[in-house]
Each structure stands twice: as structure tokens, then as C-alpha cells.
Amino acid sequence: MSSTLEATTSEAGRLDKFLGGQFTEISRARFQRLIADGHVTVEGAVVTDAGHKLKPGQQVRVSVPEAAPAEPQGEQIALDIVFEDKDLIVINKPAGLVVHPGAGNETGTLVNALIAHCGDSLSGIGGVKRPGIVHRLDKDTSGLLVIAKNDKAHQGLSEQFAAHGRDGRMEREYLAFIWGKPDRRAGTVHTGLERSSANRQKMAVSKSETAREAITHWTLEEAYPAASLVRCRLETGRTHQIRVHMAHIGHPLLGDGTYGSGFAASKSKLSPAAREALARLEGQALHATVLGFDHPRSGKHLRFEAPLPAALAALHAALKAG
């Protein structure tokens, strides 16, 4: 069912800016699309220019169509919900769960699960009843994800992720088990990253002008006979960033067949218990353990921490035991 929004201007200004300030539940970008599609009138006349200059005392009306049904369909999949309110939901994603449907993964994804779980609380991202994915984790990476339920939350969270924590609002930390021991307690990897020319499924460090800046800060937490545990803090959020960066400095992640295949022989240096725990992993030994951000509505800073899942906890215990 469509709804109608009405407001009267008190001063001159752009149409899209006026609407975004009057009705904060809907993003300015969404209003721009509504204007372009002919859903906005000024003094009874349809206006399709988002930059249309308003005069004081003018009546503006917006017809907001009902959000289109979600695609794909919802599926009843169990979720580990850390926090939820009317604007967003924080999930502790298990390893093995794909975030978004795609080729070869049309069903059984986190998005399918969220559509079923959230139901009518999804007011529509860009006019479609769907969860707003503002960041992702690889299929085999576990840990914390925040998802928006409406345009306002989606816009607010997207702005924070775009700043990559440089303005102090966003906080993201990962625990990673790596091969070998770094020669110092902490460091920063600062490179360009882009798709590998040899294998488009992989990312690679690159100095080309098309590469995107990637910065990972790491700290050594624990060292074992053949491996180490590091805590990584992201200053950027590129695809496979931690996996590529740790491999770049000679310490790929345990269980990472894509970027650590050259370290397969290192398994022989592990204890039998550690080798068994590693064999049970579904992929790379990487967990998104801390997620912090400012709530897009209240402005309150929220911070969540997720402990290692069972498989990584077992690996951790076996490595510590030697």
C-alpha cells in the first residue's frame, strides 16, 4: 500500500534536500529516485528535477509506492542474532554461510535468512523489501556483520563504512591464525589491491594505478611452535584484504587454500591435535571478532564482540597446548 507525505516549505532550497530534511526515514538518494520517477508534486505540478528550487510557502507532496516484494525469497535458516532493533540487526555469521545470493549460491544465503526473519520490519532499501548489506565476510570467514533494515539506517551505516574508521566511528577487528611467527610485535601492511590478472577469483597486491588502497594494522597476540595468532584492524575494507596482506608478508592464514597453498608442508610441524583441528576447519582461520559503529538513528556508539566459534576455539586450544 502506497503512502503520501506532505510538507510546506519555510525557506528556499533544493527539492531533494528539503525532502531529506523533512522525512528522515527515507534517504535523500531514495527521494531523488522518487522525484525522477514522477512521484513528487510541488503546488500540484509534477516535478522530476531533484535540484528544483523551492520557494517559501510551497506545498510539496510525495507519493511513496509500497516497497516491492523481496527477491530472492526468504528461507527459514537459523541465525545467531547479537542485537536487533527497528533499524538494524547484528549477526554472528558462521563459517560456510554465503552472505549474498549469486551464481552457484541462489539459495541458502544470509540474505535469504534475513528476509524470512525480518519480515515486515524491512521497510525497503531503495524501494525493495530487502536487507541493506553494507559490508560482507567471505563465505568461510565467521564473525560479526551489521545489516540495515531501512533506507535511513542503510545510508548512515554506508557512510561510516566508507570512512573506514578514520573518523573514529567504525571499529573492526579480526582474529587470524597465521603460519610462522612475525619478526616483530606489530606492523602495518599498506598496499594496492586488485583482481589478479592470472586468476580473476583471487586478489593480488599491485602498484598499478587501477589498484585500490588497502591498509591492515596487525598485532601479535600469541606465538606457537609453527603458527601465531594475530589481531588485525582494518583501515580499509577490500575483498580478501587480510588474507592477501598476511600472505604478502610471508604469513598466510591457516586453512587458506587460495593464498596459503605453498605452506601445506607446514602442517607436519603441528601437533597431531592441531593438525586434526585444522582439518576440521571449513576454510581460512579468520574470525571477525569486534564490530563497533554509531547507531544511524540515535548516534549512540555500539560495540559488539564475538568469541571464537567452536572450530577455531578447538584449533586455538590445540595450538596453545603445543
Question: What is the pTM (predicted TM-score) of this model?
Answer: 0.77
Strand partners, 168: none
- Spatial contact of 173 and 289, defined as CB atoms under 8 Å apart: yes
Mean pLDDT value across residues 169-190: 96
Q: What mean pLDDT is reported for the chain?
A: 89
The more confident residue out of 30 and 208 is 208
* Digit-coded pLDDT (tens) for 61-113: 988 876 655 566 788 999 999 999 999 999 999 999 988 776 566 688 888 88
Does 174-289+314-321 match 67-163 at the fold level? yes
What pLDDT is stored for residue 185 in this prediction? 97
Q: Amino acid identity of 121?
A: S
Fold of 174-289+314-321: Pseudouridine synthase (3.30.2350)
The more confident residue out of 302 and 62 is 302
What pLDDT is stored for residue 165 in this prediction? 67
* Digit-coded pLDDT (tens) for 9-59: 889 899 988 998 888 777 777 788 889 888 899 999 889 999 999 999 999
- Cα(250)–Cα(107) distance, rounded to whole angstroms? 36
With the C-alpha atoms ordered 144, 147, 152, 158, is the resulting torsion angle positive or negative?
positive
What pLDDT is stored for residue 112 in this prediction? 87
User: Would you give the distance in Å from CA 40 to the centre of its chain?
Assistant: 33
The more confident residue out of 29 and 159 is 159
- Per-domain boundaries in the chain: 3-64, 67-163, 174-289+314-321
What pLDDT is stored for residue 272 in this prediction? 95
What pLDDT is stored for residue 232 in this prediction? 98
Task: Read off the DSSP letter of residue 180.
Answer: S
Identify which of 316, 230, 40 has the alpha carbon closest to the alpha carbon of residue 14. Answer: 40
- Cα(226)–Cα(162) distance, rounded to whole angstroms? 37
* Catalytic residue ranges: 138
- Spatial contact of 255 and 281, defined as CB atoms under 8 Å apart: yes
Assign residue 194 a region (left: φ > 0; alpha: ψ between -120 and 50; beta: otherwise).
Answer: beta
142 has a pLDDT exceeding 90: yes
- Cα(221)–Cα(33) distance, rounded to whole angstroms? 48
- Cα(52)–Cα(203) distance, rounded to whole angstroms? 44
First to last CA, the chain: 62
Mean pLDDT value across residues 158-180: 89
CATH architecture designation of domain 67-163: 2-Layer Sandwich (3.30)
- Cα(9)–Cα(18) distance, rounded to whole angstroms? 8
CATH of domain 3-64: 3.10.290.10
125 has a pLDDT exceeding 60: no
Find cell 601465531 and name the residue.
228
* Cβ neighbour number for residue 202 with a 10 Å cutoff: 15
What pLDDT is stored for residue 244 in this prediction? 97
Dump strand ranges (E) for the chain.
3-8, 13-14, 40-42, 45-46, 53-54, 59-64, 81-84, 88-93, 132-133, 142-148, 171-179, 186-195, 203-206, 212-223, 227-234, 286-294, 301-305
User: Would you give the distance in Å from CA 196 to the centre of its chain?
Assistant: 22
Task: Read off the DSSP letter of residue 166.
Answer: T
What pLDDT is stored for residue 264 in this prediction? 78
- Cα(302)–Cα(94) distance, rounded to whole angstroms? 21
Q: Mean pLDDT lowest for which of 64-78, 110-124, 147-161?
A: 64-78
